[in-house]
Amino acid sequence: MNVYIVILLQTILGGATHIVAKSVTSDIDAVTLTFLRSVVSNIGLAFVFWIRRAKIKVLHEDRKRMILLGLLGTGNQLLYMYGIHFTTAANGALLYGTTPVIVLVFSRVLLGERMTPKKSAGILIAFIGVSIVIFERGISLSSDHTYGNLVVLAAVIAWGLFTILGKSMVIKYGALQSTSIAAFLGGVMLLPFGAFSATEFDFGLLNSADWLGILYLGIGTSVVSYLLWYYALRRIEASKLAVFSNGQPIVAALLSVIFLHYTFTTAFLLGGTITVGGVILTQRG
At 269, the amino acid letter reads: L
Give the CA distances from residue 252 to residues 54, 97, 127, 154, in Å, rounded to whole numbers and listed in that order: 35, 11, 20, 19
Count of domains observed in the chain: 1
Q: Which residues form the domain of 50?
A: 3-284
Please check the confidence at residue 110 and state whether its pLDDT lies above 90. Answer: no
* pLDDT tens digit sequence for 66-108: 999 999 999 999 999 999 999 888 788 778 877 877 887 887 7
Q: Provide the whole-model pTM.
A: 0.82
Report the alpha-carbon distance of residue 156 to residue 122 in Å, rounded: 18
Q: What is the per-residue pLDDT for 2?
A: 80
**What are 17-39's pLDDT values in tens digits?**
888 999 999 999 999 999 999 99
Q: Angle formed by the axes of helices 247-259 and 3-24, to 10°?
A: 40
The distance of Cα 235 from the centroid of its chain, to the nearest Å, equals: 20
